């Protein structure tokens, strides 16, 4: 242990060494002319079951992965970080995932694609927002990034485990159109039907219901190399449509035995991308072995021979946005990357789809029937309920059936008995959907078919804050339903909700607003068909007109119509803040798509947002508050040459860092605020320093410098 006299207001400095010796933390970590990555999936922290490995075992497996593959360019998790329905254990499960997986990617950038257990059930608030905070995702859970010239896209299932909603798909289409010159890997949690899964196994829970739409989209882009997913907990690699479809195994959760009597070991998928192809290998961390080459399980590795856009010198980039932003909508976005560029790209795209909701004709549906007592009936984007029915699982459905198109409501025993159509699904309406703008008018429309007539409809509109607080409710007078076809429209005049404590009251607040509709039917003495349901902004029609996006006070706009397939792109001066408020404005369909891309990224900051001030970076308060000590992790991009850098901060709520690659002759760090009187700092360095002036004591081991630094102080390290 080295000790040095504490220097008041000193600066933590690591001088750049003239020669590099030993392990290098930056460029050169991965092998030249190849991208090396590893994917884990389905950790299911918190699950209480004999099949679930202990926290200690999972930690050992992750450590073994990094020991076996020490020079990864990328570390990924394709979802189910924790189990669902854990009640008070949820926060500890999120802590365990953060500590064991997300914070242990070593020097490699880490990205997370939420799974159904993470994102579907809003049991303690907006689950989608929580996943973004957990995984350091800037805005929506769909996003993309480039590593060494290869483009990766996160495609989560936001509203149901077997469905990719239209907001995600529309943004994906935009992303693919903007990156058609790059080799692409698609990352998701669920499999596509007809590829890696058994389509008859747990139908309605495994295999995306809209697989055909996604496969057709994949076919349209020959530069897509693979669809890599979790959820099934097995190691399966299939070649189809000229691509690889890969099930990423398990690092926890249930142990399937469909493919092997002994089940599937804990581990994940190792992959390499060269200029001539993609190689994927199933790896068992339990055995420290590849399943096919070392364990005699054939077919668990596969190579796709195809030319790729791999380039060691290609810059890292990150993109985020929205697939259906409303006129007047506001949202807060967070920055977890820094760039050496002075600007960033903004793309606006138009749409002729003026519907806020999706699946308006009830064409997308699934029925889970693998267990007689655990059945589900799902028409995506909706709930159909009566009283307390349905619970998550039910034995039977006596209230409705799917017609394709449309749904049929069954006759009820008594006139007072009600059956309700909710759009969106009830569990999403309070915190997640449909994002709306106050002080605006909306139209909810229904098309009904009745043989005898005589049924009654009561429409209810409710506005909630993103935190689940009911802000406003309106009950429309009941309407009689006539025989034959009835077209009904309800104008919803949403008030300004100025006392709701939302982003529309103060841009310092993140909380958005949801509008949820309930069509409550009674007097169901005969069957009734609902053939269409829509929610729109009043007067919305045609394509997007005069789009404008305001980003942190800077404006991107285009006069006139913005037609589908002809996006508009503009460069903006890079904002300095770690958090930005975005506002959209447009006419016509009153909806627009937008896409922000940061190029030439040099640092990824995880668990806390970062503001870029040029020569120095300001790390703000953690957004992932579950990790032990609210740990903040900083890693370099592949092209960042720094061999000495601040890697971890613990119990720190604000700090400043002066990296070497930003023109600083010395690496510096300063703690501005902490939980308590001090915070812990870890600095990666390939050399033991001659001195550390500032902290009371310090230690150098395993290629890193460790010390505690008082709040408001700086320290200096001399190499």
Q: What DSSP string runs through 194-240?
A: TTTS-TTTTBTTBS-TTHHHHHHHHHT-TTEEEEEE-SS-SEEEEEE
Q: Give the C-alpha separation, 490 to 536, whole Å.
A: 11
* Residue-range domain boundaries for the chain: 14-19+599-718, 36-314, 319-354+542-598, 365-537
| Residue-level pLDDT at 479 | 98
Pair 708, 681: CB distance under 8 Å: yes
Sort residue 392 into left (φ over 0), alpha (ψ -120 to 50) or beta: alpha
| Residue-level pLDDT at 57 | 98
Interaxial angle between packed helices 90-100 and 55-68, expressed in degrees from 0 to 180 and rounded to the nearest 10: 20
Shortest CA distance to 80 belongs to which of 331, 279, 271, 252?
252
CATH topology of domain 365-537: Jelly Rolls (2.60.120)
Instruction: Give the tens place of pLDDT for each residue, 77-104.
Output: 999 999 988 888 999 999 999 999 999 9
If pLDDT is split at 50, 70 and 90, which confidence band does 715 have? confident
Q: Among 3.40.50.300, 3.20.20.70, 3.60.21.10, 2.60.420.10, what is the CATH number of 36-314?
A: 3.60.21.10
Residue 18 has pLDDT above 50, yes or no: no
The verdict on whether omega for the bond into residue 434 sits within 30 degrees of 0, i.e. cis, is yes
Residue 19 has pLDDT above 60, yes or no: no
Residue 24 has pLDDT above 50, yes or no: no
| Residue-level pLDDT at 258 | 67
| Residue-level pLDDT at 13 | 33
Once rounded to an integer, what is the mean pLDDT over residues 633-661?
93
Q: Give the C-alpha separation, 314 to 639, whole Å.
A: 8
Tell me the C-alpha to C-alpha distance, in Å, between residue 657 and each of 608, 644, 661, 669: 14, 12, 11, 4
Comparing 30-34, 419-423, 518-522, the range with the smallest average pLDDT is: 30-34
Instruction: Give the tens place of pLDDT for each residue, 192-220.
Output: 999 998 877 778 889 999 999 999 999 99
Once rounded to an integer, what is the mean pLDDT over residues 580-602?
98
Contacts of 553 (CB under 8 A, 6+ apart): none
Shortest CA distance to 183 belongs to which of 211, 222, 214?
222
Q: Give the C-alpha separation, 553 to 574, whole Å.
A: 12
Mean pLDDT, the chain, integer: 92
If pLDDT is split at 50, 70 and 90, which confidence band does 423 have? very high
Question: Does the CA dihedral 641-701-106-271 come out positive or negative?
Answer: positive
Angle made by CA atoms 126, 129, 130, in degrees to the nearest 5: 85
Residue with tokens 């138009």: 350
For 61, the 3-state DSSP assignment is helix
Number of neighbours of residue 483 by Cβ within 10 angstroms: 12
| Residue-level pLDDT at 7 | 28
| Residue-level pLDDT at 12 | 32
Token readout for 665 is 């002759």
Q: Give the C-alpha separation, 400 to 422, whole Å.
A: 13
Q: Give the C-alpha separation, 143 to 596, whole Å.
A: 10
Shortest CA distance to 42 belongs to which of 266, 213, 210, 216?
266
Pair 144, 319: CB distance under 8 Å: yes
| Residue-level pLDDT at 31 | 67
Residue 29 has pLDDT above 70, yes or no: no
| Residue-level pLDDT at 6 | 27
Q: Give the C-alpha separation, 39 to 74, whole Å.
A: 9
Once rounded to an integer, what is the mean pLDDT over residues 138-153?
98
Interaxial angle between packed helices 166-178 and 211-219, expressed in degrees from 0 to 180 and rounded to the nearest 10: 10
Question: Does the CA dihedral 207-159-147-65 come out positive or negative?
Answer: negative
Number of neighbours of residue 429 by Cβ within 10 angstroms: 23
| Residue-level pLDDT at 3 | 33
Q: Give the C-alpha separation, 643 to 634, whole Å.
A: 13
Q: Among 1.10.10, 3.30.200, 2.60.120, 3.40.50, what is the CATH number of 319-354+542-598?
A: 2.60.120
Q: Give the C-alpha separation, 283 to 297, whole Å.
A: 11
Tell me the C-alpha to C-alpha distance, in Å, between residue 497 and each of 47, 159, 439, 442, 492: 40, 26, 8, 15, 14
Token readout for 341 is 């560029």
Instruction: Give the tens place of pLDDT for each residue, 322-355.
Output: 999 999 999 999 999 999 999 999 999 999 999 9
What DSSP assignment string belongs to 526-589? S-EEEEEEEEEETT--SSEEEEEEEETTEEEE--SEE-TT--EEEEEEPP--SEEEEEEEEEET
Q: Give the C-alpha separation, 651 to 428, whole Å.
A: 34
What DSSP assignment string belongs to 420-457? EEEES-HHHHTTTS-B--SS-EEEEEEEEEESS---EE
The whole-model pTM stands at 0.94
Token readout for 183 is 């080799």
Residue that wins the pLDDT comparison between 155 and 261 = 155
Tell me the C-alpha to C-alpha distance, in Å, between residue 259 and each of 137, 240, 253, 411, 448: 34, 19, 16, 45, 47
What DSSP assignment string belongs to 631-659? -EEEEE-TT---SEEEEEEESEEEEEEE-
Tell me the C-alpha to C-alpha distance, in Å, between residue 526 and each of 374, 449, 521, 609: 28, 11, 12, 57
Number of neighbours of residue 546 by Cβ within 10 angstroms: 16
pLDDT above 90 covers a percentage of the chain that reads: 84
- Residue 502 gets which letter from DSSP? S
Contacts of 582 (CB under 8 A, 6+ apart): 330, 331, 332, 333, 549, 550, 551, 552, 594
| Residue-level pLDDT at 124 | 75
Terminal Cα distance for the chain, rounded? 16
Number of neighbours of residue 231 by Cβ within 10 angstroms: 30
Q: Give the C-alpha separation, 163 to 179, whole Å.
A: 24
Once rounded to an integer, what is the mean pLDDT over residues 29-34?
70
The reply to whether 365-537 shares the fold of 319-354+542-598 is yes
C-alpha gyration radius of the chain: 26
Largest CA distance in the chain: 91
What DSSP assignment string belongs to 601-625? EEEEEESS-EEE-SS-EEE-S-S--
Tell me the C-alpha to C-alpha distance, in Å, between residue 291 and each of 83, 372, 508: 26, 35, 51
Question: Which strand (E) or helix (H) includes residue 60?
Answer: helix 55-68
Q: Give the C-alpha separation, 592 to 542, whole Å.
A: 12
Once rounded to an integer, what is the mean pLDDT over residues 487-491?
98
- Residue 26 gets which letter from DSSP? S
Which of 36-40, 103-107, 427-431, 674-678 has the highest mean predicted lDDT (pLDDT)?
Answer: 36-40
- Residue 191 gets which letter from DSSP? P
Q: Give the C-alpha separation, 112 to 507, whole Å.
A: 28
Once rounded to an integer, what is the mean pLDDT over residues 15-42?
58
Comparing 42-46, 430-434, 594-598, the range with the smallest average pLDDT is: 430-434
């Amino acid at each position: 242990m080295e000790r040095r006299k504490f220097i008041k207001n000193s600066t933590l400095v690591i001088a750049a060494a003239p020669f590099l010796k030993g392990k290098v933390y930056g460029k050169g970590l991965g092998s030249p002319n190849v991208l090396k990555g590893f994917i884990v999936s389905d950790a299911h922290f918190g699950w209480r079951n004999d099949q679930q490995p202990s926290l200690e075992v999972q930690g050992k497996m992750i450590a073994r992965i990094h020991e076996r593959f020490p020079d990864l360019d990328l570390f990924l998790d394709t979802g189910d970080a924790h189990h669902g329905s854990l009640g008070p254990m949820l926060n500890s499960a999120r802590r365990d995932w953060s500590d064991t997986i997300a914070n242990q990617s070593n020097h490699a950038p880490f990205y997370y694609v939420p799974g159904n257990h993470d994102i579907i059930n809003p049991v303690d608030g907006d689950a989608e927002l929580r996943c973004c905070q957990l995984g350091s995702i800037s805005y929506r859970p769909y996003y993309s990034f480039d590593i060494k010239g290869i483009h990766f896209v996160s495609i989560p299932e936001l509203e149901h485990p077997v469905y990719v909603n239209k907001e995600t798909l529309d943004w994906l289409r935009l992303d693919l159109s903007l990156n058609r010159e790059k080799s692409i890997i698609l990352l998701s949690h669920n499999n596509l039907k007809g590829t890696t899964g058994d389509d008859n196994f747990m139908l309605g829970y495994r295999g995306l219901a809209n697989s055909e739409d996604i496969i057709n989209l994949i076919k349209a882009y020959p530069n897509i190399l693979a669809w890599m997913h979790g959820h099934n907990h097995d190691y399966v690699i299939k070649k189809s449509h000229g691509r690889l479809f890969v099930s990423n195994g398990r690092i926890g959760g249930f142990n399937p035995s469909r493919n092997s009597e002994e089940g599937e070991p804990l581990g994940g998928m190792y992959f390499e991308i060269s200029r001539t192809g993609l190689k994927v290998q199933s790896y068992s961390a339990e055995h420290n072995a590849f399943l096919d080459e070392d364990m005699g399980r054939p077919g668990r590795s596969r190579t796709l021979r195809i030319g790729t856009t791999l380039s060691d010198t290609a810059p890292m980039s990150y993109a985020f946005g929205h697939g259906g932003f409303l006129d007047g909508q506001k949202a807060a976005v967070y920055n977890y990357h820094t760039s050496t560029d002075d600007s960033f790209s903004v793309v606006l795209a138009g749409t002729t789809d003026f519907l806020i909701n999706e699946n308006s004709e009830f064409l997308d549906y699934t029925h889970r029937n693998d267990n007689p007592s655990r059945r589900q009936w799902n028409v995506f984007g909706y709930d159909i309920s009566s009283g307390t029915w349905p619970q998550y699982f039910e034995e039977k459905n006596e209230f409705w059936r799917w017609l394709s198109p449309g749904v049929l409501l069954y006759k009820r025993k008594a006139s007072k008995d009600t059956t309700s159509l909710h759009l969106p699904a009830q569990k999403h309406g309070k915190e997640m959907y449909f994002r709306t703008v106050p002080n605006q008018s909306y139209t909810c429309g229904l098309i009904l078919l009745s043989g005898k007539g005589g049924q009654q409809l009561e429409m209810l509109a409710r506005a909630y804050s993103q935190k689940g607080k009911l802000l406003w409710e309106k009950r429309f007078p009941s309407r009689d339903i006539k025989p034959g076809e009835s077209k009904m429209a309800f104008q919803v005049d949403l008030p300004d909700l100025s006392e709701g404590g939302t982003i529309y009251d103060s841009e310092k607040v993140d909380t958005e607003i949801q509008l949820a509709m309930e069509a409550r039917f009674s007097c169901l003495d005969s069957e009734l068909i609902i053939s269409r349901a829509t929610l729109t902004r009043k007067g919305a029609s045609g394509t997007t007109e005069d789009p404008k996006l305001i980003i942190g006070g800077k404006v991107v706009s285009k006069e006139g119509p913005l037609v589908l397939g002809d996006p508009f792109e503009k460069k903006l001066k890079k904002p300095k803040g770690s958090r930005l408020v975005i506002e959209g404005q447009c006419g016509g369909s009153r909806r627009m798509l937008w896409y922000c891309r940061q190029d030439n990224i040099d640092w990824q900051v995880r668990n806390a947002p970062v503001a870029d001030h040029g020569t120095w970076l300001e790390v703000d308060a953690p957004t992932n508050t579950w990790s032990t000590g609210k740990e903040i992790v900083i890693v370099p991009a592949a092209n960042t040459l720094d061999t000495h850098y601040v890697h971890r901060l613990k119990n720190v709520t604000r700090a400043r860092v002066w990296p070497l690659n930003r023109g600083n002759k010395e690496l510096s760090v300063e703690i501005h605020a902490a939980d308590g009187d001090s915070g812990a700092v870890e600095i990666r360095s390939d050399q033991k320093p001659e001195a550390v002036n500032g902290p009371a004591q310090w230690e150098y081991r395993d290629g890193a410098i460790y010390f505690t630094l008082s709040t408001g102080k700086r320290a200096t390290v001399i190499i």
